Amino acid sequence: MKYAAFKLIGEPSKTRVGSISADGKSINEYELGVDLSESGVVEILRLELAGKLPSQASATHPMSAIQLVAPIPRPRRNIFCVGKNYFDHAKEFGTSGYDSSTSKPGDEIPKDPIIFTKPPETVIGTNEKIVIPQKVSVDIDYEVELTIIIGKGGKGISQADAMRHVWAYTIINDVTARDWQQRHKQWFLGKSFDTFCPMGPWVVTADELNPEDIPVKCFVNGELRQSSNSKDLIFNIPKLIETISAGITLYPGDIIATGTPAGVGLGFKPPKYLKAGDVVRLEVDGVGVLENTMVLGE
């Protein structure tokens, strides 16, 4: 099942949620009777967990009549992200001179997952604009990431039980200011500017995908920059859930972006950073397409 958060083009003040039809041409709205402007599809998850999801839609809208927003427009807390989680990208980034986690040659592949976060305010939806904060940084990079949404929460979750806690998948673009990442010797600030977490276009429930074989791609202005598969993750999804939940309680609706493969702008010589007018298109098989255009800001 694909669940989306959206607004009617003729009534943009209200955030709605629903399921995408099998042919992708319409959306079946659920009238849940609560404000969905922050939680989005998490309200569907909560009703599922309680066994109270409506069996019928309250209305059906053609896709031409709606505007998709981020499936979780404002997460309840920071998005968990994973650094250097594809072998080829770990080598690409570890030798770039921007990686504060690599202390010596040959140390590029991490021995344990590297976890950082992005704040809720970074989130935007598909077709919204990513803002280049030109007074702050112009070294802006893209990162396609398969992303999981936690269903049943918990703490101390084992790898053996971890997949029972995955509700759905989506796509995140882990947009990054590389100069800030290098300057501050950590990853939070350079990855946390406003608009730096495009998410979407919707979520796809876990029963529809094989997490060990999901192709991911990134195109910039139609040029293929990144192409890999979740089978190439250094640390798989169960390991990531086990690591994060060891000391942090996970809650329904928590978000974990699983890392990006090689081909980021930083890896080219000279680097291919994003500029105003660039269109970044992320594709994850079985999930969909997340597309955003770059614009200049202050």
Four-residue CA torsion sign, 124, 209, 114, 40 = positive
Conformational region of residue 19, where left means phi above 0, alpha means psi within -120 to 50, and beta covers everything else: beta
In this model, does residue 154 exceed pLDDT 70? yes
The Cα 27–Cα 66 span in angstroms is 9
List the chain domain ranges.
2-69, 79-297
Unique residue bearing structure tokens 């709605």: 16
Query: According to the model, what pLDDT value does residue 266 have?
Result: 93
Query: According to the model, what pLDDT value does residue 184 have?
Result: 83
In this model, does residue 158 exceed pLDDT 80? yes
Q: What is the pTM of this model?
A: 0.95
Model pLDDT for residues 198-247, shown as the tens digit of each residue? 999 999 999 999 999 999 999 999 999 999 999 999 999 999 999 999 99
Query: According to the model, what pLDDT value does residue 138 have?
Result: 95
Query: According to the model, what pLDDT value does residue 185 have?
Result: 78
Banded model confidence at residue 94, pLDDT cuts 50, 70, 90: low
Fold of 79-297: Fumarylacetoacetate hydrolase; domain 2 (3.90.850)
Collect contacts of 16-20 with beta carbons under 8 A, ≥24 apart. 17/41, 17/43, 17/44, 18/57, 18/61, 19/57, 20/202
Buried-state track 90-121, b at ≥16 Cβ within 10 A, e below 16: bbbbbebebbebbeeeeebebeebbebbbbbe
Banded model confidence at residue 261, pLDDT cuts 50, 70, 90: very high
Model pLDDT for residues 48-81, shown as the tens digit of each residue? 999 999 888 899 999 999 999 999 999 999 999 9
Query: According to the model, what pLDDT value does residue 213 have?
Result: 97
Q: Looking at this protein, which amino acid is placed at residue 230?
A: S
Banded model confidence at residue 95, pLDDT cuts 50, 70, 90: low
Query: According to the model, what pLDDT value does residue 182 have?
Result: 84
Asked whether the bond before 215 is cis by omega within 30 degrees of 0, the reply is no
